[in-house]
Amino acid sequence: MQIVYRPHLLRRLKERKIPKDYPKQILQDAEQEYFDSATMHNISVKKLPYGGKMHCMVIAYDIIENSKEIITVYPISELELSNKVKRGRWKTYEKN
């Protein structure tokens, strides 16, 4: 399956000074997988070094035909992640 970096993602990588390979790493080796019921995007999470500490890093992506198109990437705190799951916005699912 092809991995596509959308223009918004490329802009966010630059703005947030996130290494360009992080989205692909997160997608291929996610520690957690969700479906965002508000945005209707797939979510993958992996802990990676960012800003001098280990952070949960999130990507949002869509599956379109034979490609996974990554929309954005951002760090998220454990509390924010937990709240999204508790409130039901992010629905857990098993990774294939």
- Rounded to two decimals, what is the model's pTM? 0.92
Query: To 10 degrees, the CA torsion angle through 49, 15, 86, 43?
Result: -80
What's the CA gap between 51 and 17, in Å, rounded? 9
Give the chain's domain count.
1
- Expressed as residue numbers, the domain containing 81 is 2-92
Which pLDDT tens digit goes with each residue over 13-69?
999 999 999 999 999 999 999 999 999 999 999 999 999 999 999 999 999 999 999
Q: What's the length of the chain?
A: 96
